[in-house]
Chain A
Amino acid sequence: MICEHCQERQASVTVTQVINGQKSERHYCEVCAKQFHPFNIDFHKEDQIPIHQLVANLFGLPVWNNTQEKTQTTTQKVSQCPKCGFTFRHFLNEGKLGCSQCYETFSKQLPQVLTKIQAGTKHSGKAPGKPSNDHTWIKKQIETTREQLQTAIMEERFEDAAELRDEIKDLERKLEHGGVDTP
Chain B
Amino acid sequence: MNLEHFLKSEAPGWMDGKGLDGDIVLSTRIRLARNLDGYRFPLSFSEQEAKQVDEVVTQALLNINKDKRIFSHFTIQEMPALQRQVLVEKHLISPLLAKKEKHASVLLSEDETMSVMVNEEDHLRIQCILPGLQLSETYTLANQLDGQLEKHLPYAFNESFGYLTSCPTNVGTGLRASVMMHLPALTMSKQIKAVTQMLARFGMVVRGIYGEGSENIGNIYQISNQVTLGKSEEEIIEDLQNVVVQIIQNERGARQSLLKNSRIVLEDRFNRSLGTLRYARIMTSEEAASCLSNVRLGVDLGIIKDVPLNILNECMILIQPGFVQQYAGTTLQPTERDIFRAKLLREKLNLNSQNSLEKGEERYDV
Contacts and interface: CB of A to CB of B under 8 A. Distances in A.
Nearest to B174: A125
A178 interface: no
A97 B232 contact: no
Contacts of B226: 117
Given A96-B167, A123-B162, A132 B233 contact: yes
B203 interface: yes
Interface in B144-179: 147, 150, 155-164, 166-169, 171-173, 175
Contact of A121 (B35, B41, B229, B235): B229
Interface residues of B, number: 41
A103 B161 contact: yes
Contacts of A99: 39-41, 44-45
Q: Is the interface of A mostly helix, strand, loop or mixed?
A: loop
Interface stretch (A2-10, A13-21, A39-47, A133-141): A133-141
Contacts of B173: 123, 125-126
Contacts of B175: 125
B121 interface: yes
B44 A119 contact: no
A126 B32 CA distance: 12
Nearest to A133: B234
A123 B166 CA distance: 16
A127 B168 contact: no
A98 B156 CA distance: 13
B43 interface: yes
A118 interface: yes
B276 interface: no
Contacts of A83: 40
Interface in B201-234: 203, 226-234
Contact of B172 (A85, A96, A118, A132): A118
A127 B157 contact: yes
A68 B150 CA distance: 47
Given A103-B161, A123-B172, A132-B233, A97 B166 contact: yes
A100 B232 contact: no
A96 B121 contact: yes
B232 A98 contact: no
B143 interface: yes
Interface in A135-176: 136-137
B155 A128 contact: yes
Interface in A104-119: 104, 107, 110, 113-114, 117-119
Contacts of B229: 114, 118-123
A134 B94 CA distance: 30
Contacts of A132: 143, 147, 233
B229 to A, nearest CB: 4
18 contacts: A96-B167, A96-B168, A97-B43, A98-B43, A99-B44, A100-B37, A117-B226, A119-B230, A120-B229, A121-B160, A121-B229, A125-B172, A125-B175, A126-B173, A128-B150, A129-B150, A132-B147, A134-B232
